[in-house]
Structure 1
Amino acid sequence: MRVLLMAVLLLLGSGQAPVTAAGTYELLFPSTALKGLEAVAAGRESGQNTLVYDRLVSGAAESQMDGRFSIGLKVKPDDKVTMALYQGTRSRGLGEYPASVGNPVIMFFLESVLADIAAQSGGSPFYMRNRIKEALLKDGQVVSVERQYENRDVAAREVTIRPFLKDKARERMGRFSELAITVTVSEEIPGWYYSLVATVPAAVGASKIGYSHAITLDGKGEGRR
């Protein structure tokens, strides 16, 4: 996972859809995403160096992590960022990354979505990974929106890509060809990302719901994680 997380660093721009690929890259993967989050010395906690995200996955394969989780991200000295995944009393470290490359939550999100849809569809994760990476390097659909953060409306941009929309293997992918990935970003949001959402509709006539994977900023403050 670590290799893809670092290799997939790409994306985003401003205004209404579409924007250039270069603008898309800069908007989705800014190296300054963690700017303003204070790094604190070991042994001290600060609300200014911690972000907490709510993660909700539904419709994933039984072998994947389905349910509600939280993700804690902490900026540490020496240009390091750590991430951990929490569910109830359980926790799992998600690695340590250079803060200078941006917020790693987007890379974790993309790799998790890839694992989920590959497990459900039975398709090649390598093929799907390449299509997602190609989509990230192409023009994205961008819409200016407003989102509420800390009881106020903030200007944001909502970017959507559909990796398999024109794929040559689209017919064989069934409902997974309809995968849509939407990322909402804002300079006024700590950590840059307000939400990251991937959706796949349910199969026609199926009793089960479609697939949804959403990571949303929950807070920034002391003692969260």
Structure 2
Amino acid sequence: MTGAVAANARVGARAFAMRGAAAMAALVLSMTAPHGARAADAASGASGPSAPAAPIAPAEKLLFLTPHLQGIASQTELDYSLVVSAPPDKQTDRVRVLVASAGNANSDATVSDASGKVQLPENLPCNPVILYFLERDIAGMEQATGGQRRYFQQRVRLALAASPTITDTTIQIDGKPVKARKIVIQPYLHDPNAQRFPKFTSKRYTFVLAEGVPGGVSLLRTDVPGDNDDFAHPLKTESLSYEGSLRKLSPPAHGTPTSPAAPPAGPRASR
């Protein structure tokens, strides 16, 4: 990795960490609209008849309203490999989700990466690594284009609310086939403002979730294609994939669980 790329990565990581819970809460709010929109109207004192709420799309339910951490023992760490590839440069990180209460019953699962613990809003039923990945992506889009983060949040939300196809697929866990579901969206493909950031017009987001994977998330990935929408030779790819889990970590004396430096042994999903 070149010095310039490394410096940009450090700046991006710091910017992401500084946004904290407020930015993540904004993402959750936008992802769960129209409920969030109604709450905002009520808070601002809006009056008058409102349009009927559109049903939440199956893709939104699968990603954000599913209790992915059910069945996970307390003090379990889920490890994910984060790989950012912009040929010829490549960087990696390990992202950890610590499930503090059994099944995340207290909505107290935490996410950490190389920058430390990432602040998240409470009472999320989903695996928070999904929101971590999307918020990280949105921060990157904002930095790369100079656009407004709320705009990119809305484009992703609209793409998921449009009921994209949920495809049944099969992944490999320790060489064994496991049933999974895949969602693919291209939020900027028909964006009327796409001419402002043409490199990202065909950017593709892929979500692969499987009940047979601890935490429910097998792979989260974005691809920015090369010239003429060449996805075989992408300009940039970012992927977060499940690596394994370590169960029954012992909480430290002051109540903030710690993680081992070495990756834990556990089932691995093939990419």
When the two structures are superposed, what TM-score results if normalisation uses the length of structure 1? Answer: 0.77
Cα distance in 2 for partners of 1:100, 1:130 equals: 19
Q: Counting helix residues as a fraction of each chain, which structure ranks higher?
A: 2
Single out whichever of 170-179 and 105-114 deviates more from structure 2.
170-179
Q: Cα offset for 1:121?
A: 2.3
Conservation of the 8 A alpha-carbon contact between 1:56 and 1:67: yes
Corresponding residue SS for 1:101: coil
When the two structures are superposed, what TM-score results if normalisation uses the length of structure 2? Answer: 0.65
Q: Does 1:6 align with 2:6?
A: no
Aligned to 2:64: 29
Larger Rg: 2
Q: Does 1:124 align with 2:132?
A: no
Say how many residue pairs are matched: 198
Aligned-pair Cα RMSD in Å: 2.7
Q: Cα offset for 1:5?
A: 4.2
List 4+ stretches of structure 1 deviating above 3 A: 96-100, 222-225
Aligned to 1:46: none
Cα distance in 2 for partners of 1:56, 1:26 equals: 26
Cα distance in 1 for partners of 2:30, 2:78 equals: 22
Q: Does 1:212 align with 2:269?
A: no
Corresponding residue SS for 1:36: coil
1:67 alignment partner, one of 58, 81, 91: 91
Structure 2, unpaired ranges of 5+:
1-22, 33-54, 248-259, 265-271
**Residues 185 and 36 of structure 1: CA distance in aligned 2, closer, same or farther (over 3 Å):** same
Q: Cα offset for 1:97?
A: 5.2
Conservation of the 8 A alpha-carbon contact between 2:225 and 2:234: yes
Q: Cα offset for 1:58?
A: 2.4
What letter corresponds to residue 197 of structure 2 in structure 1?
Answer: M
Q: Counting strand residues as a fraction of each chain, which structure ranks higher?
A: 1
Conservation of the 8 A alpha-carbon contact between 1:202 and 1:209: yes
The residue correspondences of 1:42-61 to structure 2 (distance < 5 A) are: 49-59=76-86
Q: Does 1:81 align with 2:106?
A: no
Cα distance in 1 for partners of 2:234, 2:198 equals: 15
Cα distance in 2 for partners of 1:134, 1:112 equals: 18
1:89-136 per-residue CA deviation (whole Å, 9 max, x = no partner) reads xx5111355465221101011111111122222333232222112112
1:153-205 per-residue CA deviation (whole Å, 9 max, x = no partner) reads 1011111011111111123321211111100011111111100001112356x
Structure 1, unpaired ranges of 5+:
11-19, 41-48
Aligned to 2:125: 101
- Greater RCO, 1 or 2 (C-alpha within 8 Å, sep 6+): 1
What letter corresponds to residue 241 of structure 2 in structure 1?
Answer: T
What letter corresponds to residue 31 of structure 1 in structure 2?
Answer: T
**Residues 187 and 209 of structure 1: CA distance in aligned 2, closer, same or farther (over 3 Å):** closer
Single out whichever of 163-172 and 103-112 deviates more from structure 2.
163-172
